[in-house]
Amino acid sequence: MPDALQLLKTRRSVKPMELTGPAPSAAEIDTLLAIASRVPDHGKLTPWRFIVFTGDGRLAAGEKIAAAFRANRADATPEQIEFERQRLARAPLVIAVVSRAGPHVKIPEWEQQLSAGASAMSLVIAAHAMGFAASWITEWYSYDRRVLDGLGLAANERMAGFVHIGRPSKPPEERERPALAAIVTHYSDPRK
């Protein structure tokens, strides 16, 4: 197991298609969820929640995705519909992070949304730290109202993403990162 810094320095997302079983155990899933709920949360609002998809639950959710796809695309082929039905069955475990951000007297909605992002990222890092790999994706169905209704999201809730988790079937290739010089400035007082 790499140490924390090494893990953070080398982590790569692994595509859902390349994530295989065995799935994390129920105890491991609980650990993942506990870590995902331990994120910065201004005002202690818990502006996120999780939906866990394992086993047949992944295909039951896939039915909702396929139905929405069919409704959106009159020309959909049976192969395309089947692909959509299998969307959440590519990886052995998928955890959806749902944002519950909303207007608040003191805490800006933006900060609540950022907290959901932190939660999804913690989930990704925790999965890697436990020896799994992960991929945080939204794809089209995170933005489809029919799908969101089918998965039980209220009108004020938004999908922060589906974190796919499994074991990597092959080592990921490196991905280019921005040069720090291009994104970092060191602030200095312009009057001096």
User: Residues interacting with ligand FMN, by CB under 6 A?
Assistant: 12-13, 135-139, 161, 175
What is the smallest separation between the CB atom of 165 and ligand FMN, expressed in angstroms?
12
Q: Give the nearer residue to ligand FMN in terms of CB position, either 115 or 135.
A: 135
Q: Give the nearer residue to ligand FMN in terms of CB position, either 79 or 176.
A: 176
What is the smallest separation between the CB atom of 134 and ligand FMN, expressed in angstroms?
9
Q: Give the nearer residue to ligand FMN in terms of CB position, either 23 or 136.
A: 136
Count of residues in the chain = 192
Q: Give the nearer residue to ligand FMN in terms of CB position, either 9 or 186.
A: 9
- What values do phi and psi take at 105, rounded to 5? -60, -30
Q: Give the nearer residue to ligand FMN in terms of CB position, either 170 or 191.
A: 170
What is the smallest separation between the CB atom of 175 and ligand FMN, expressed in angstroms?
5
H-helix segments, 37-179: 55-72, 78-85, 109-129, 145-150
Q: Are 19 and 169 in contact (CB under 8 A)?
A: yes
Specify which residues 4 forms β-bridges with.
none
Q: Give the nearer residue to ligand FMN in terms of CB position, either 14 or 23.
A: 14
What is the smallest separation between the CB atom of 135 and ligand FMN, expressed in angstroms?
6
Q: Are 93 and 23 in contact (CB under 8 A)?
A: yes
Q: What angle (nearest 5°) sits at the alpha carbon of residue 120, between those of residues 168 and 170?
A: 10
Q: Are 32 and 76 in contact (CB under 8 A)?
A: no
What is the smallest separation between the CB atom of 192 and ligand FMN, expressed in angstroms?
38
Minimal CB distance residue for ligand FMN: 13
To the nearest 10 degrees (0 to 180), the angle between helices 109-129 and 26-36 is 140
What is the smallest separation between the CB atom of 27 and ligand FMN, expressed in angstroms?
26
Q: Is residue 160 classed as helix, strand or coil in its secondary structure?
A: strand
Lookup: tokens for 140: 């089209």
